Homo-oligomer: A and B are copies of this chain.
């Protein structure tokens, strides 16, 4: 009788990068042989014209051929095909992560459900330093979405609850992860000094994914390997990886990168993890949350002026409008003014600086 596990191990190209089409390559690998799949598929961004920053510099868009699809239908067909192949490859208790943006993630999520995957969480990667919206026409696109799903509803998937709790200073890990985008020395460059890949993901993101949902020795496959972030973090953490990448240029960069990586050498990850945004509380939040009503009057520190709160968190007094700081400064004829201590409101007959509301909210939020 053949020892299946040995056969599989023998034919599984552990810790290598395969070239070619990911669907064909996945279909050529043995079924039920992989513990985790991490996939960063093309987003189908559908960008049209050029975009410039307010300083007139040009934004380097993702206009690579591999991100172009003719229609939603074409994108759905592609998605269904690679997800079918992924499903076949996973061990019964295996799981998958897929990352995307609003351009593609809804189609990916629906297809995952259609193909029998069982959604476990959607996770939001909140970027500390996203690219702003230069034209002021939409909200800053400050996050991407990851979907974590098991192979089936019955899967006994891996989830290292305590490890993630430890990563989060003793509190249960939430579904929103605050991490910076990949910049600085971590960002790989080509020979010309340009970025080697337009959408390189930060190692901190993969670190959290793998600590959460794999164990040492697990096999992690990435069908859109790019410059190999998945492989690099897998190697650091003592997991085995299989990468698939069509573009020779990306494979070359990934090979060099992986040769440099040492197991457990995760200093950079620890550093990026410690970055935390200061708890800034906009005045507008007090209004949105009903702590101050639009139309309510605020009084200045010296009692000389009053101003009315507007629904967008600005103040108005006669023809002067602006932030709590701007209106205070204008009334006092001063170059600047701390609105938090300058403006007061009345509660139960007492006059209180609005800063007290901010402190109250800080306690609630953090």
Contact = CB atoms under 8 A, between A and B. Distances in A.
Given A105-B106, A106-B113, A126 B123 contact: no
Interface in A112-126: 112-114, 116, 119-124, 126
A137 interface: yes
Nearest to A237: B311
Interface of A: 50, 52, 56, 68-69, 72, 101-103, 105-110, 112-114, 116, 119-124, 126, 128, 130, 132-133, 136-143, 145, 147-148, 159-164, 166-170, 172-176, 178-180, 186, 203-204, 207-208, 211-212, 236-237, 264-265, 267-272, 274, 280, 282-285, 287-290, 293-295, 308-314, 316, 321, 323, 332, 334-337, 364-365
Contacts of A110: 72, 106-107, 109-110
A133 B172 contact: yes
Contacts of A167: 282, 284-285, 287-288, 312-313
Contacts of A283: 169
A61 to B, nearest CB: 15
B52 A335 contact: yes
5 contacts: A50-B335, A124-B126, A126-B176, A128-B364, A203-B290
Given A137-B159, A335-B52, A335-B56, A124 B124 contact: yes
A169 B280 contact: yes
A311 B106 contact: no
Nearest to A120: B138
B56 A332 contact: yes
B124 A176 contact: yes
Given A72-B114, A103-B119, A211-B312, A264 B294 contact: yes
A334 B55 CA distance: 9
Interchain residue pairs A-B with the least CB separation, the first 8 = A106-B109, A167-B284, A268-B295, A268-B294, A169-B282, A265-B295, A163-B312, A142-B174
Contacts of A52: 335-336
B123 A312 contact: no
Most buried by B among A119, A120, A145, A364: A145
A283 to B, nearest CB: 6
Given A52-B336, A237-B311, A109 B113 contact: no
A47 B204 CA distance: 33
Contacts of A113: 68, 72, 106-107
Given A102-B121, A207-B311, A272-B314, 10 more contacts: A52-B336, A56-B336, A139-B175, A140-B173, A163-B312, A169-B323, A207-B288, A265-B294, A269-B311, A271-B314
Contact of A309 (B105, B137, B268): B268
